[in-house]
Structure 1
Amino acid sequence: MSDKSEAPSRDQLALIEQIHELLERARVEHWLYGGWAVDFRLGTITRPHSDIDMLIWGKDANRVRVALRELGYKVEDDSRYPDEMFHAYTGDQHISFTFLERNGLGQIITPGRWSDWPWPEGTFSPETVTLEGVACPVVSAEAMLDTKENMPKHPAGRPLREHDRADIVLLRRLLNGDGEKAEGHF
Structure 2
Amino acid sequence: MQSDEVVRLCQCFERANLAFWVDGGWGVDALLGRQTRPHSDLDLAVNLADLAAFDRLLQHQGYARIARDHDPEWNWVLRHQSGRSVDLHGFVRDAMGNGILGDPGEGSSYPAGALEGRGAISGFAVGCIAAPFVLAFRNGFEPRDVDRHDVTALCAQFGFALPSRFRI
**Alignment TM class, shorter chain as reference:** 0.7 to 0.9
Identity over aligned residues, as a percent? Answer: 24
Q: Could you tell me which amino acid in structure 2 is paired with residue 123 of structure 1?
A: A
The corresponding residue for 2:52 is: 62
In structure 2, the gaps of 5 or more residues are none
Q: Could you tell me which amino acid in structure 1 is paired with residue 62 of structure 2?
A: G
SS in 2 for 1:124: helix
1:99 maps onto 2:90 in alignment: yes
1:149 maps onto 2:134 in alignment: no
- State the Cα distance separating 1:82 from its structure 2 match: 3.2
Instruction: Kindly indicate whether the alpha-carbon contact (under 8 Å) linking 1:54 and 1:98 is maintained by their aligned counterparts in 2.
Output: yes
1:82-161 to 2 correspondence within 5 Å? 82-90=72-80, 91-103=82-94, 106-112=97-103, 115-125=106-116, 129-150=119-140, 152=141, 159-161=142-144
Instruction: Kindly indicate whether the alpha-carbon contact (under 8 Å) linking 2:21 and 2:128 is maintained by their aligned counterparts in 1.
Output: yes
In structure 1, the gaps of 5 or more residues are 1-10, 153-158
Moved more, 128-137 or 165-174: 128-137
1:166 maps onto 2:149 in alignment: yes
Q: TM-score, normalised by structure 2?
A: 0.83
Of Structure 1 and Structure 2, the greater strand share is in: 2
Higher relative contact order (CA 8 A, sep 6+): 2
Separation of aligned partners in 1, 2:118 and 2:155: 21
SS in 1 for 2:45: strand
Instruction: Kindly indicate whether the alpha-carbon contact (under 8 Å) linking 1:13 and 1:134 is maintained by their aligned counterparts in 2.
Output: no
Moved more, 53-62 or 166-175: 166-175
Instruction: Kindly indicate whether the alpha-carbon contact (under 8 Å) linking 2:24 and 2:42 is maintained by their aligned counterparts in 1.
Output: yes
Separation of aligned partners in 1, 2:72 and 2:108: 18
Separation of aligned partners in 2, 1:93 and 1:71: 12
Alpha-carbon distance change, 95 to 26 in structure 1, aligned in 2, over 3 angstroms = same
The corresponding residue for 1:76 is: 66
The corresponding residue for 1:180 is: 161
Alpha-carbon distance change, 20 to 89 in structure 1, aligned in 2, over 3 angstroms = same
In the alignment of these two chains, the number of paired residues is 164
Instruction: Kindly indicate whether the alpha-carbon contact (under 8 Å) linking 1:58 and 1:99 is maintained by their aligned counterparts in 2.
Output: yes
Residues 55-108 of structure 1 deviation map (CA, whole Å, 9 limit, x = unaligned): 111111111111221222222354322323111222121111111113475522
Instruction: Kindly indicate whether the alpha-carbon contact (under 8 Å) linking 1:100 and 1:109 is maintained by their aligned counterparts in 2.
Output: yes
- State the Cα distance separating 1:120 from its structure 2 match: 2.9
